[in-house]
Structure 1
Amino acid sequence: MTDHMANLRHMTSHVRTLFVIVFAVAVTMLLLTRSVTQHFSGLEVRGMARERVASRIHHVNNTGIVQTNTSGNQTNIYNDVMKIRLLCVILTMPKDLHTKVATVNKTWATRCDRHFYVINSRIKRHDFLNINNIPESRNNLVHKIQEVYKRVYERYMNDFDYILKADDDTYVIVENLKYLLWHHDAQKAGYLGFHFNKFVKSGYMSGGAGYVISNRGLRQMVEEGFNKGLCKIVKREEDQENSEDIETGRCLEAAGVPVWSSLDAEGRETFHPYTLERHLAGDLPGYLYSWAKHPIQKGKECCSRYTISFHYVPPDAMIYLDHVLYQMTVFGVHGNQDFPVSVFSEGHIT
C-alpha cells in the first residue's frame, strides 16, 4: 500500500507538472501576440542586412494579424528566411539515445538543414559526429566542442551559414532562430545567444540555451584563435571545470568575433537558460539575475513573441511543447483568419 501511494503521488505530481507546462505554453502564445513594429530592433543590423530589413520588415496590428508593407512581401520574407542554412550540433551521451536524442530528433532537430549529435560512441549513424578520442566527462566538454568546431571547419564550411550548438535537453524553435539570423550577415563574424556578462570581457553565451556562430565567426575562431594558440585551455580559479560555453566565449573574443544582440524590439529575451514555466513564474536561481547581461523579467515579458529556445526541457515536456506550437492554433491570431470554412467537417451527427 505504501508503494502504491508513493507511486500515485509521483504520478499526480508528474501530471501536474505537465499540465503547468502545457498551460504556460498556451498562455504565452496568447500573451505574446502584441503589436511590434520591428521584431528585433535590439540588433545592430550590418551591411546589406540593414537594407534587407528596411525594405522587408512587416508589422502586426493590435489584432495579432500579420500585415506587410507590400503585397506578397510576407511570403518573400518567409522564403528568404528559410533559405538560411543552419547546421545544428547537439551534445549528448550514449545513455540518452533512446530518450533525449529520440525526442530531439522527433521534434526540432530535423528542422535544421543539417544536424549532428556529438557523441562518444562506436555506433555509426549519418547524424552522429563521433568524438571517441576524448573521455566522457563534464570537464572534457570544452575539449569535445573544440574538436567539433575543428571538424566542422575541415569538412562542412561550405554547407552552412550559421552553426547552432545545443544540448540534448534544449528545445529550439528553428524558424524563429532563422528569422533572427536573417537580420544578420553570415559572412560577417559574430555570435549570439543568452548573454551572460561574466568571466569574459564581452560576456559569453549560455551553452544550455544554445548559441549560434556565423560561418565567418567560426572560420575566424579556428584560424585566428585555435591555429594561433589564443584558445588554450588553462585552469582558472573562477571556473575550475573550464565550462565549454565560457571557454568558447573567451576564444571567440580572442579571435575578434563580436557579440550580436538576440533581444527583440521590446527588450525581451529570445534564448532562455531554463524552462518556459520557470521563466514565466520568475522561479529562477539567484545567480541568473546578477550574471545576465540584461535584466531578467517574468510573466509575459519573460519571453519574446519570437522566442527561440528553452533549456532543461525533459522529453515529455518537449513533445507537449512541440505539439502546442506546431499542431495547434488560435483562430484569428497569426493571420489564420483566412482559413477556409472547410477546416471543420460538415454534416449532422447521427
Structure 2
Amino acid sequence: MPFRPFFLLAALDALPAVGLWVPVLLGWDVSGVIPDVPGWHARALLFGTVPVMMAGFLRTALPRWTGRPLAGARVWPLLVPLWLAGRALSPWIAVAHAPFLALLAVLAAVQVVAARDRRNAVVAVLAGALAGTALCNAVPAALAVLLGLVMVLGGRIAPSLTATHLGLPGKAMLFAGRPLFERAAALAAACALAGWLTAPASGATITASLLAALMQTARLLQWRGWRTLDRPSVFAVHAAYACVPLGFAALAVSPGAAVHLWTVGALGLMGFAVMSSMIRKHAGNAFARSAAVTACYALTGLAVALRAGAEMVGEGRAVWLLAAVCAWTGAVVLFLAIFGRILAGAPPGKEKKPIG
C-alpha cells in the first residue's frame, strides 16, 4: 500500500488545519501561537493537507495509468520528510511546502515523459502549477489549480468506479465519450476560474461561471451517479464532484459559499472518498458495506452544507462555523478510527470482515 504514509499524514493534518478554528470561535486569543488563523488555515489545507493526499494517490495510480513501473521509486520516499519540514515551518507555510510540491511535480513529469503519455501530461503540468502558487503564496490561484486537478482526476475516477460497481467492462459502456464536449467544458471552467481570480464581480465572470456550472453539471450527469445510491463509497465521489458546478453557480450569489463548496466539498469530500476507496481496494474490500465509512461521508457532507451556509446567514454565523468544524472533526476521527491502523503500517487481517 504505497499510499500509506501520505494518506496518514493527510488525515492527521486535517484535524489541526480545521480544528484550530474552535478556540477562535470560542473567543480565545491564539495570536501567540498563530497570528493569522484564517490565513494559516487556508494555506495549511491547500498547500499541505490536500497535496500530501494527492501525492499518495498519484504514487499509486500513475504506474497503472501510464502502464510502466514507477519512475524514481527511490526518490518518492523523500516526499515525506520534505512535507514534514514544510509543516514544521508553519509561519511560512506556503513557501515552505514549495520544495515538496516541486519534487512531486517533477516525479509526475518523469513518469509521464518516460511513458510518452500525453493524456496524463496535464496532471504533471497542474502539479507544477501548484508548486508555483506555493512559491508565490497565491492562495486563490492554488484553489483554482486544485479544482483543475479535481475535474481531471474526478472525470476518470467517478465513471470508472461507477462502471466497476455496475459490473460493466469499462466506462465506455457507461457513456459515450465526447472529446469536443470535454474540451469545451474544460475551457469554460478555465475561463470562469480566470475571471474569478482577476475580476470576480464582473458580469463576464458571472456569465462564464454559470456556463461552467451548466457544462460541469452535464458532465457529471453523463456518469449516471444516481445508479450508485446503494454504494455510498461510489456515490460520495459523485457528490463531491457535484460541488464543482455548485461552486460555479454560487459565485453569482455568494463567493464565500462558492469557495467553501469547492474546498470542503470538491476537495475535502473527494479526498475522503478517494482515500477510503483506494485503501479498501488494496485491502480486498473495495465495495464492502460499512456504516462507519458511510457516516464519515455523511459528516463531511454535513460540514460542506454548514460551512457554505455560514456564508449566507446573518446572525448566528459563529454557531454554523462551529457546527461545521465539529462535523469535519467527527469525519476525520472516524476515518482515522477505521483506517488509521492500516495506514500506520499494520497489515490487513486475514479475516473476511470488511474494513470499517
* Length-normalised TM-score, structure 1: 0.31
Q: Which has the higher strand share?
A: 1
Higher relative contact order (CA 8 A, sep 6+): 1
Q: Which has the higher helix share?
A: 2
Who wins on radius of gyration, i.e. which is larger? 1
